[in-house]
A and B are shown apart, each in its own frame.
Chain A
C-alpha cells in the first residue's frame, strides 16, 4: 500500500504569494499614477499635460537610478546570505572619491567626459574596497553584519567629511575644477516617441541601472551562478554538501554588490550634480535597502519599489516648480519640507508589511560555520 503523496502545504499558499505580488505591483502603479495625475492637475495652468507627464517620467527614472542600483547591490549580497546595510556608506565614499578622481583626471588634461568615466571607475573601485572590508569582517571574521555595515557607514561619513574639509577648505587647499556631469545619450528613433520618448534620452548611468535590472534577473534565476548564489543564501550547508564553496560564493557576491554600489555612488557627483557636498547621499542607500525588501529581494520588484520612491521625489520637485499654481486650499503642498517627507513616509509604509510581507533568504545575515 502506498500512502497518498499529497502536499502538506495547502495549494493556496502559492496563490497567496502571487496574489501578494500582484497587489504590491498594483499599489506601486496606482501611487505613481496618482502622483502624476495630481502634478498634471496642478501644473496644467501653465504647461501642457503631455509635457508634464513626459518630464515626470524622465525625472522619476533619474531619481530611481541610485535607488535601483543600491537595491541591486543589496540583492547580490543578501541573496548570497550577507546582509548589507553599508550600501549608504559605499555610495557616499564612492561618490566622493569618484568626484575627486574625475577632477584630478581633468586637471591632467583629459577631456571632461573621459575624466568622468575614469571617475566612475574610481567610484567602482571604492565600492569594491569597502565591500571587501565588509566581506572580510562578516564572512571571514563572522562579525555581526549589522555592526560591520554600521562601521562602514560611519567610516564613510567621517572619511569623506574630513577629506573634503582638508582638501578644499584649508588655506592653500588644492583647487579642483569639476569635470561637470556625464553627457546624455539619446537613443535615436525611440527618443522621438511622444510622451515616453524621455525614457530614451537619459544620462548613461540611468541606462546602466535599467540594464542591470534585467541582467541581474537573468543571472539570479537563469544561470548556474544564480542557482548557487541563492542556495548559499537559503541553506549554505546544503550547498556545502554538494561541493559548493560557500565562502567563495559569498565573497564574490558581496564584491559584485560593492561594484554596483560604486556605480550608484557615481550617480550623485558624476551624473547628477557635478559637485560634492558632505552627506550627499542623504539616506538614499537606506531607501535602496527598503526598495530591495519591498521588492522581495527580486530585481524587478526592487526596481518597481525604486520607481515608487523616486516618483515621490519627482512629485516634490514638480510641486516646487509649479508652486505658483497650487490652489490655496492645498497650501500645505507649498511647504517643501512636508512634501519632501513623502519618499520617507512611503518607505515606512512599505516596511510595515501592510501591503504583503516579503520573505528574505532563509540564512540572510547568518555567518556560515563549517
Chain B
C-alpha cells in the first residue's frame, strides 16, 4: 500500500470520564484531502493531537508511509513530516512572521539567529506555493486569514507532507475560506496530503476527496462527496434526522423596541471599535448582525447590555433612554442577553443550576423573601425550566460548569427566555454547539420573535445569520456597511460586504 501516507489503526484514548476515541481507524492517501467530520466533542481533534504527538494513545497503531511509528511528542511528528495547523493558532503575536516560522527549527550564523537566511527561505516557500506573506511583519498585526497562511508555511518550512488542518475556516470570511481551499488544492498537487477537520457540511462537500464521520469517539462512516449530501452527512454526525433549515413564517414587525443612534465604543486597547453605528430593531423581527469576528460586534453588544460604556451616541430601549444604563436597569426594562462568552458573562460555573437560573431575578419575589432566599421556590422554578428547555442534568443542584457546552447554553437560554422580555440580544448563541442544540436554540429564538420580542442576533456564522434573521446588517471595521433583506441576500453578497466591499463596488 505505497499510496497511503498516513494510517491510524484501532486508536483508543480515554480521558477522565470520557472515551474520546474508541478504536478509531482511518487512512490518508497521498495527495488526498480527507475530511474528518463530526460534532464538537466527537473526538476529531483528540485523534489528530495524537498523530501530532500532543497526546499519547492508550492503544492502537500509527503508520506513516506504511511503517509503524511511535510519536511521543511534536518533535517526532515533525521529523516524520507531519504538520498541524491548530484551531487556535500557535503563533506568538509579538514575534515577526519569520520568528514564528523558524521557532524550534532555527538556523544560526555563529552565535546569532540567522534572520536573513530564514526570510529568504520563507520568501521561496511563499512564492513556490502561492502563499503571500511578509516575513518581517509583526504577526499580531495580521488579519487571521494571513496568520493562517503563516501557520501553513510554518509546517511547510519543516518539510511537512502530511498537513492536518483543525477547523481552519472557523475564523475566515467566505472569500478567505475559498482562498484557503485554492491553497489546499495547490498543496495536494505538490504531493501534500491533507486531513481537514470540520463540522461544516458545505465545506466538507466542496473540498474533500473522502469524508470520515466521527460520532462519540467512533467512526460511524466513510463516504465521498459524490455519494452524500448535507442531509445524509448531518444525520450521520448527529445520529438522527435533523432539520437543517430554520422553519419560520414571515415576520410581523411592530413598534421600534431598540433604537441605536450614532453609537461609538472603544475597545480594551483604546481603539474605536464601534465607529458610529445606527439601527433599529422592531418588535417581532430578528435583526442579524453579520461580520467577521473582531469588527466591533463584541463591543457593540457590550455597550448595549451595559457591560461597557459608550463614548457617544444614544440608545433607546422601549421608549426609555438607556444610554450607558447599568445592566440591572436594562434587565428590569426587559432585556435578555445571551452572551458571546457564556463562561465569563453567562453563568457562574461553581453555582448550581438552580442558582444560575435566577441570576438576574434573585432579588424579586418569589425567589427573595426579605433578606433571605426562598430555596423551595428557586428549586421548583429551576426544575420547571430544566424540563421545559431540555437541560440534560442529573439534578438542579449540579454545578453549572459540569454540564456540557450545549446544556450550559440551554441553561442560559432558559434563564433569559423565561422572563417577560421585550428585547433579546443573542451573541454567537450557538458557537461550539452540536447540530441538535443549534436546532433547539434557533427554534426558541424564532418562538420569541413570534411572541413579539425584538431580537438582535450577532453571529460570525453566515448560515446562522441568514437562516434566522429577517434583516441583516453587516459590520465591517466598526461600521454597518449595509443592511439587507435576509430573504434576498446571497452568501456571495454578504461575504463581500463582510470583507468591506460595499454593494456599489461589488456590482461594478
Chain A residues within CB distance 8 Å of chain B: 1-10, 13-14, 222-224, 226-228, 230-231, 234-235, 237-244, 362
Contacts and interface: CB of A to CB of B under 8 A. Distances in A.
Given A3-B175, A222-B113, A228 B143 contact: no
B383 to A, nearest CB: 37
Contacts of B104: 228, 239, 242-244
Contact of B143 (A7, A222, A235): A7
Given A3-B179, A7-B143, A222-B112, 15 more contacts: A3-B175, A3-B500, A5-B132, A5-B146, A223-B108, A223-B113, A224-B106, A224-B113, A227-B103, A238-B90, A238-B103, A239-B104, A241-B84, A242-B90, A244-B103
Contacts of B78: 242-243
A246 B74 CA distance: 13
B146 A242 contact: no
A8 B138 contact: no
Contact of B103 (A6, A231, A362): A231
Nearest to A8: B143
Contacts of B92: 230-231, 234-235, 238
Contacts of B106: 224, 227
A222 B146 CA distance: 26
Interface of B: 52, 54, 73-75, 78, 84, 86, 89-95, 99-100, 102-106, 108, 111-113, 132, 138, 140-143, 145-146, 154, 173, 175-176, 179, 269, 271, 294, 496, 499-501
Contacts of A2: 175, 179
A230 B95 CA distance: 9
Contact of B95 (A234, A240, A243): A234
A7 B499 contact: no
A225 to B, nearest CB: 9
Nearest to A224: B106
Contacts of A223: 108, 111-113
Nearest to B492: A1
A252 to B, nearest CB: 16
A3 B173 contact: yes
| 8 A-B pairs with least C-beta separation | A242-B104, A243-B75, A238-B90, A3-B499, A224-B106, A7-B141, A9-B141, A234-B92
Contacts of A1: 175, 496
Contacts of A235: 90-92
24 contacts: A1-B496, A4-B499, A5-B142, A5-B145, A8-B141, A14-B138, A222-B111, A224-B108, A224-B113, A227-B99, A227-B103, A231-B92, A231-B103, A234-B94, A234-B95, A237-B90, A238-B89, A238-B103, A239-B103, A240-B54, A240-B74, A242-B90, A242-B105, A244-B103
A121 B190 CA distance: 58
